[in-house]
Amino acid sequence: MKILQLVTKRQYRGAEVFAANLSDELIKLGHEIIFAGLYLNDSEVLRVEKGKNIDLSNDKSLLSSLQLIKNLVKLINSEKPDVIQCNGSDTLKFTVAASFFTRKTHITYRNISTISKWIDSSLKLNFYKTLFKKVDHVTSVGSESIQDLIETLDYPQEQTSVIRRGIPVKSLSPEDLSYLKSELGFFSNEKIVMHIGNFSPEKNHNFLLDIFSDIKKSFSHIKLVCVGEGETYQDIKEKIKKRNLEDTIKLLGFRKDISELLTQAHCLVLASKIEGVPGVILEAASQKVPSVATNVGGVSEVIIDNETGFIIDDFNKNEFKMRVISLLSDEKLKNRMGENAFRLVERDFNPLKNAQKFETLYIQLVNKNN
């Protein structure tokens, strides 16, 4: 089969990296992949090595949007994919627009979030309901997020399925496991807590600033390292300086060496206000790193509370702080939870099994039309 994987940008972010990893696995299964970004990414471009990699537009202006639709129509008509998988809401909007000018092609949408949290008006609700009438099947990373979509958009349950993320387990050499402390000027006895994610209001970095401001008072050897970029990055950076936390909280910006960084962390933290099923928790688990996270979205689908990490209800700052301290103070607890998390990823989030489930779905859609 020929599959068009559409992403917003060919960038190193969650949905895009998942689509690229899935594409790699589908190629191994004998399928042809077109990996297309709606918008050009100027730096650190994500590629599928044995796929066809393209971008459809330079920017998000109205004129460029019209050209993007034209380019997408041309791509679909020339490549004739059997299935188009949309990874992100922008990709769905443009695919539906293009579908009025192309041959009939099966459209699937991969849902990674709680869609009701993003729909704040009846106009937007009706718009999304109209869009999804053109979608043949919706896959979701978790049970809670797919149920939310079904109820919010009145989408047929029989046209949905839960297909978990596939998390590649990266084997690392000893030299990959120790450079971060040296890079940041940390002493060998200091312990690293890590946050990985876009800097946005939803990721709730302010919560973490409060937590680690408190931790610093009694446990100055515990450090928070934040990886990522985004709209609130500069604001958080300034608040760290104002609160005299520069020796406790370090911002790394964008990084590609995520697996290598995670191996040097004692635990991962996530304080999000909104989540789908956070893949970063699984990435940490693949390196035997347990997590402490707020109980939102599908967090409970990737953390077994008290087994692979800790889930914090109601944004309880004191409990969050104590759980982080307990993991960093008890090496046996940290190692046990890390091993449990690793086994969970191996069992339930295997990349090949994940790709085979998508392959089965695509075949069913194609055969249904025939």
pLDDT score recorded for residue 38: 96
The tally of domains found in the chain comes to 2
Domain holding 207, by residue range, is: 174-348
Are residues 357 and 328 both part of a single domain? Answer: no
Are residues 110 and 198 both part of a single domain? Answer: no
pLDDT score recorded for residue 173: 66
Give 32's contacts (C-beta < 8 A, 6+ positions apart). 1, 2, 3, 51, 52
Q: Tell me the pLDDT of the chain (370 aa) as tens digits.
A: 999 999 999 999 888 999 999 999 999 999 999 999 999 988 889 999 999 999 999 877 767 889 999 999 999 999 999 999 999 879 999 999 999 999 999 999 999 888 998 898 999 999 999 999 999 999 998 898 999 999 999 999 999 999 998 898 887 765 666 788 889 989 889 999 999 999 999 999 999 999 999 999 999 999 999 999 999 999 999 999 999 999 999 999 999 999 999 999 999 999 999 988 899 999 999 999 999 999 998 899 999 999 999 999 999 999 999 999 999 999 999 999 999 999 999 999 999 999 999 999 999 999 986 6
Q: Go through the chain and tell me how many residues it has.
A: 370
Are residues 53 and 66 both part of a single domain? Answer: yes
Are residues 343 and 203 both part of a single domain? Answer: yes
Cβ pair 194, 287 in contact under 8 A: no
Are residues 356 and 255 both part of a single domain? Answer: no
Are residues 343 and 236 both part of a single domain? Answer: yes
Helix H or strand E encompassing 101: none
pLDDT score recorded for residue 103: 92
Are residues 142 and 239 both part of a single domain? Answer: no
Are residues 81 and 201 both part of a single domain? Answer: no
Are residues 103 and 239 both part of a single domain? Answer: no
Are residues 360 and 342 both part of a single domain? Answer: no
* Range 228-232 contact pairs with CB under 8 angstroms and sequence separation of 24 or more: 228/195, 228/196, 228/197, 228/198, 228/199, 228/252, 228/253, 228/254, 229/198, 229/199, 229/253, 229/254, 230/198, 230/199, 230/200, 230/203, 231/199, 231/200, 231/201, 232/199, 232/200, 232/201, 232/203, 232/205
Are residues 209 and 306 both part of a single domain? Answer: yes
Give the domain CATH number at 229: 3.40.50.2000
pLDDT score recorded for residue 14: 84
Task: Report yes or no on whether pTM surpasses 0.75.
Answer: yes
Are residues 97 and 219 both part of a single domain? Answer: no
